[in-house]
Amino acid sequence: MSDTQAASGQVTGIPAAGRGTGDRLLGDVLRRSGAWPWVYAATALTGAVVELLLPAALGRAVDALVTPGGGLGQAFVTCSILIAAVVACDAVAVLAAGAGSAQAARALRRRVVRHILVTGPGLSRRFPAGDLVTRAGANADEVGTAPESMITAAALLVPAGGALIALALIDLWLAVAFAAGLAVIALVLRAFLRETTAVSSGYQEAQSDLATRLIDALSGARTIAAAGTQDLETRRVLTPLPRLYRHGMSLWRVNARAGVQAAIVVPMLEITVLGVGGFLLSGGHLTAGDLFAAARYTVLGAGLASALGHLNRLARARSAARRVTDVLTHPSTAYGDLRLPERTPGGLLEFRGVGVCVDGRDALREVDLEIPAGTAVAVVGRSGSGKSTLAAVAGRLVDPDHGEVVLDGVPLRRLGHTALREAVAYAFERPVLFGTSVADAIAAGRPVTMRGEAGDRRPVPGTAGGQDTGGRGEARSDAEGGPQALSERDAEGGRQARSERDAESGRQAKSARGADGERQARSARGAKSGAEEKSGGEARRRRGAAIVRAAAAAAAADSFIRRLPRGYDTALDDAPMSGGERQRIGLARAFAHGGRVLILDDATSSLDTVTEHQVARALTERLRGRTRLIVAHRAATASRADLVVWLDGGRVRGRGTHDELWKDPEYRAIFEITATQAVPEATAGPAAPQVAAGPAAPEVAAGPAAPQVAAGAAAPQVAAGAAAPQVSAGPAVPAGSFPGPPPPVLESPSAIPPSPGPVADPLPPMDDAPPTAIPARRPKVIPPLRRSRYGDRDIEDTPPLDVAAGAAGETDAPGPGTRDAVLLALGGRPGAADEDGPPVKVARCRRHRDPETGERFSQGPEGGAVNRKPVSPTRQGLREAP
């Protein structure tokens, strides 16, 4: 636990890592390593001293024993004792060094791991992933061995330095001969180091060439399989082998040369000492025993080189400690202790002056937004415009550098860890899955405390601050400690608490949000009737499995999961998945979550038309009621959303419905795919009619003018069709030559004015909307509130959707698409979309402060010409239809 305190103590630490902080960490590690380092120090130093005494004792013994008539005397006993001591010290030292560094590395690594987890993805902004792994892995090891290195270096210095003194004591000339030789060793070692580094780069290049070729070939695995060219490819990949061999051999040669030099220096040193000693012996200054001792001391003294090597290790440990300290001093995320107020529907998300700085560049600047509870909001913009950053701060994956994100009145920073993660679910473009099986990977999305959908267990807080008024307070205090108190105990406790609560919510779950919620509820009821008196485990397991399956079905992943070798139980490692499949597991994980906010960061980008459509339907039908923030690249996605937020250069450039924004050519330009390969001349070939019709016909339907848009037609090609310059040749393109049945009479989206085209205005004003535009398959209910009323309301006082909310869960009533009054709830920045220049900083306008902005917001990107809220035909129609 003290580690934990230290880790959280770093929260306020300043990421300034100097030499001193690294050394402090080393000291820290030493202090926390317990008794082992001291045991090691004691045994290593004792052993060193004994080792130093031993040659002298042996020499004495030899002298005594070769003297004829002498028995096994004192000298032999001394030798025996010394040798026993050397061996004993050696054995204990080995154990102490190994166990000590293992424990030190373990403690440090656990601390680093906790800190990394608590600090979160913000860390990877500063450290590349591989670097972070090195710091937590190898560097932590090096720091762990620092005490050992320190002691070893000291323990080696004793015999090495002592040997020199001993030589000098035997005879000064021996020491002189030794010192001269030693200088040579140092020079050799330096030469060796220089040469190795020079040659190894060629070797590494050949290595990486081979690896690159292999990776290239692996990316073409299916092509190679189909063409049957495995052996050809093997040869192609192995092309750099001869080069690798050549460089490898020259590396060995350098090694060999240096090895020869190193191997010869110590014996020559010894022979020199023997020579000098022999000369002294013949002069009667030395005995035979002295000569033996001198030879041994020479060898011991040569150990100085390896003592220097250990000092080098110590230097490495210090730099490793600095690198680890860099990570540990990175401020970690602190969580508050507030909970969310119980609201139905919850999920009002506000951005208040949010700014995020990435790599010294503003990824988001001055973002003020309100996203009403239960609505679907698309975030669009060119790549690099800050979409993902917006998504990341919306659920506190990272903290904004300025401003605040507020969920249902509570700033995210002040929410408890559990409360926050219960509320917000994420799906990503490239989800990283964890867990043992596919089912486990999906279940990982479920918050630690399963959300009781009914909400009847939740205290309704009196204030927006959401003070905990008891209820689950006890359970909370444990889980809510969150990662700040990460420890095994907490994790275990969390798991226990979770399973208990799972059981409880399994029994209590009733009306759920959306269709999957219904399935959850059904399965929960089944579980209740079947297994209530049995242990809760079975019911919980079944309920969990049902949720996982329902979520997978909503994410259109169920069918492919069932085709995996072991279905849902297939281990993740045994389930190689394509990008699209992985994406769907990631979606299922988010859908299984059940929180009030769902954030999709480009999470359907790899799905094909059909699948994307299925997922889109789930998003608009099953998952309605949750606030959905959807980062999108496709026009179809934007057109389905209740509201579109258009980001440009980190600022909100525009907001409104897709239809409204579509009038701006720059908005339309966002959806242009890289159409460099589009071939206008293709129309010359026999394929001409189709070529023209193909891209244009079906996609057009999804354009903003199409009535079906709101019905949720998901056509990823929309972007292509809409944006391809050739198509925008105008309304002439329409799909007369469409080879299938005649397409609906639709206007090409490209026909939408900038300049009023021959096509009817796709964005008719509110009252002119053609009711015929409603597809029959989407019976709609009139939202109980008239849009215009929202403009005057204060969101905080009157959650705008409270009226509609009741219908959402119970009936097959309209999704948020119908009660999307939405737009008006948003603050606007007049002039932000001014095309004359970069948006200038304008006063922040938040709707609940300034009722007028509702009006102002409705200024379209065209520059304020529309002073009235433009409404999409569909939405208008929906209100008028029944």
Instruction: Please give the residues from 184 up to 223 whose contact with other proteins meets the rule CB under 8 A.
Output: 207, 210-211, 213-223
Of 481-489, 796-804, 814-822, 850-858, which segment contacts other proteins by CB under 8 A? 481-489
**Element housing 375 (H / E):** none
Among 639, 609, 868, residue whose Cα is nearest residue 764: 868
The angle at the Cα of 841, spanning 839 to 844, to the nearest 5 degrees, equals 120
**Residue 1 in contact with other proteins, rule: CB under 8 A:** no
- 């909001």: which residue's tokens? 377
Name the helix (H) or strand (E) containing 127.
Answer: none
Distance CA 298, CA 301 (A): 5
What is the CB-side half-sphere exposure of residue 707 using CA atoms within 13 A?
16
Site for other proteins in 98-117 (CB under 8 A): 98-99, 101-103, 105-106, 109-110, 113-114, 116-117
Binds other proteins (CB under 8 A): choice among 256, 669, 732, 760: 256
Residues whose CB falls within 8 Å of the CB of residue 166, separated by 6 or more in sequence, listed in order: 52, 55, 56, 293, 297
The stretch among 171-179, 604-612, 780-788, 837-845 that binds other proteins (CB under 8 A) is 604-612
Nearer to other proteins, 421 or 847 (CB): 421
Q: How far is the CB of 168 from other proteins (least distance, A)?
A: 20
Stretch that binds other proteins, among 264-272, 519-527, 546-554, 791-799 (CB under 8 A): 264-272
Grouping H, G, I as helix, E, B as strand and the rest as coil, residue 366 is strand
CB of 365 or CB of 582, closer to other proteins: 582
Taking CB under 8 A as the binding criterion, the range among 462-470, 526-534, 679-687, 850-858 that sits at the site for other proteins is 679-687
Tell the smallest beta-carbon distance from residue 72 to other proteins (Å).
Answer: 6
* Neighbour count for residue 260 (Cβ, 10 Å): 11
Sheet holding 361-371, edge to edge: 361-371, 349-358, 402-407, 410-411
Under the binding rule (CB under 8 A), the answer on residue 670 touching other proteins is no
Site for other proteins in 386-405 (CB under 8 A): 392, 395, 397
The CA distance from 388 to 159, in Å, is 61
* Minimum CB distance to other proteins, residue 698 (Å): 4
- The answer to whether the CB of 468 falls within 8 A of the CB of 339 is yes
Residues within window 278-337 making contact with other proteins, judged by CB under 8 A: 278-279, 281-282, 288, 291-292, 295-296, 299
User: Of the two residues 210 and 807, which places its CB atom closer to other proteins in the complex?
Assistant: 210
Amino acid at 484: Q
Q: Counting contacts by CB under 8 A, is residue 14 touching other proteins?
A: no
Residue 129 tokens, joined: 């992933």
* 95 is a contact residue toward other proteins (CB under 8 A): yes
Q: Which three-class secondary structure string do you get for 554-610?
A: HCCCHHHHHCCCCHHHCEHHHCCCCHHHHHHHHHHHHHHHCCCEEEEECCCCCCCHH
Contact 579, 374 (CB under 8 A): no
The position carrying tokens 């085709």 is 563
Cα-to-chain-centroid distance, residue 692: 43
Residues 810-839 that bind other proteins (CB under 8 A): none
Tokens encoding 569: 């139980």
* Identified binder of other proteins from the candidate list 6, 45, 675, 842, rule CB under 8 A: 675
Helical H segments across 303-348, by residue range: 304-328
435/757 with CB nearer other proteins: 435
733-752: contacts with other proteins (CB under 8 A)? 738-745
Find the binding residues for other proteins in span 680-719 (CB under 8 A). Answer: 680, 682, 685-687, 690-691, 694-695, 697-699, 701, 707-708, 711, 713, 715-717
Q: CA 728 to CA 280: how far, in whole Å?
A: 103
Q: How many residues bind other proteins (CB under 8 A)?
A: 202
Q: What is the gyration radius of the CA atoms in the chain, in angstroms?
A: 37
Q: Interface mask (CB under 8 A) for other proteins, residues 526-565, using x and -?
A: ------------------------------xx-xx-xxxx
The answer to whether 352 contacts other proteins (rule: CB under 8 A) is no
Of residues 119-178, those binding other proteins (CB under 8 A): 120-121, 123-124, 129-130, 132-133, 136-137
Q: Rounded to a whole number, what is the largest CA-CA distance in the chain? A: 129
Residue 7 in contact with other proteins, rule: CB under 8 A: no
When binding is defined by CB under 8 A, the residue of 194, 566, 841, 868 that contacts other proteins is 566
State the minimum distance, in angstroms, from the CB of residue 318 to other proteins. 22
Least Å distance, CB 646 to other proteins, is 23
CB 418 within 8 A of CB 449: yes
Closer residue to other proteins, CB minimum distance, 456 or 488:
488
User: Closest approach of Cβ 207 to other proteins, in Å?
Assistant: 6
Residue 668 CB, nearest approach to other proteins (Å): 16
Nearer to other proteins, 495 or 841 (CB): 495
Provide the minimum distance between the beta carbon of 407 and other proteins in the complex, in angstroms, as a whole number: 14
- DSSP reduced 3-state for 735: coil
Binder among 156, 588, 773, 801 for other proteins (CB under 8 A): 773
Query: Taking the CB of residue 223, how many other CB atoms lie within 10 A of it?
Result: 11
